[in-house]
Structure 1
Amino acid sequence: MMKKTFLLVVCLSVCWFAQAQDSPKIGELLRINGPSGQFYNHVSFPQLNILVKRGKIASYKPVCRNEVVIDEVVTKNNGETYVVLKKKDGSKFFDFISKVEANYTKAVDSGNYL
């Protein structure tokens, strides 16, 4: 009896932690990983040619490993959850973008966040 109760508690806590990861909260801290390919597919960073036009290096390395804060959570009509991100230290992405939007579920599944 005690063994079954313990297993039930363990299973419920695992389910609770798995569900908690799917719902973003305002103020939650995330870390941006490098893109899974050449570009970020689920985070709306500018394309590399736009960075070059603004006088920046055509690379996403300046945003890799940055800590960001969820500023806003938006649920679109199609049911997907988007988050608005800003840097934890208050500076701008690439020195000209203060906030970016990202598809939370797809970005977490692809490994763009830690």
Structure 2
Amino acid sequence: MIKYAIALLFSVSMLNAQNDTAKQINVDVGDIFEIGKPETNKYKHIDFPRENFIIKRGGIANYKRAEGATVVVTSVKEKKDGTTQIKFKRKDGGRFFGSHTVIQADYHEAISSGELMAP
């Protein structure tokens, strides 16, 4: 009997753990976020352009200047695989690295890793 009780408690706890990870905050156009510090040297879930593309367009490839920038969501797109792709621009109207106006990111992954934060 104790084996059945343990198995029941284990399965209930696994179902609750799955429900907690499924809860995600929805994002709308016009929401404001702040770019955070990446866990590694490079941003993994925010699709910043590579250094050679920034330099070709006349910009300065300094990813540390992007930290702390306040951004506004301009478009939200649900992909077939279930991910949410967002595009955002700087709130002050400037350009990222002096060359790019709009950047895209995987919303759920960027929020969970801390690359995007609510202000």
* Bin of the TM-score, shorter chain as denominator length: 0.7 to 0.9
Q: C-alpha displacement at 1:49, in angstroms?
A: 4.5
1:22 aligns with: 25
Are 1:112 and 2:110 counterparts? Answer: no
| Bigger radius of gyration | 2
Q: How many residue pairs align between the two structures?
A: 97
Q: C-alpha displacement at 1:113, in angstroms?
A: 1.4
Are 1:79 and 2:86 counterparts? Answer: no
* TM-score of the two chains, using structure 1 as the length reference: 0.74
* Distance in 2 between residues matched to 1:40 and 1:73, nearest whole Å: 20
Over the matched positions of the two proteins, sequence identity in percent amounts to: 34
1:101 aligns with: 104
Deviation string 1:73-111 (CA, Å, 9 cap, x unpaired) is 001111100110100011110011010110000000000
Structure 1 unpaired stretches of 5+:
1-18
Q: Which has the higher strand share?
A: 2
Structure 2 unpaired stretches of 5+:
1-21
- Report the aligned-residue RMSD: 2.1
Deviation string 1:20-63 (CA, Å, 9 cap, x unpaired) is 96211110000001221011111110224544555655431111
* Distance in 2 between residues matched to 1:36 and 1:49, nearest whole Å: 23
* TM-score of the two chains, using structure 2 as the length reference: 0.71
Aligned pair partner of 1:88 in 74, 88, 91: 91
* Distance in 1 between residues matched to 2:55 and 2:70, nearest whole Å: 24
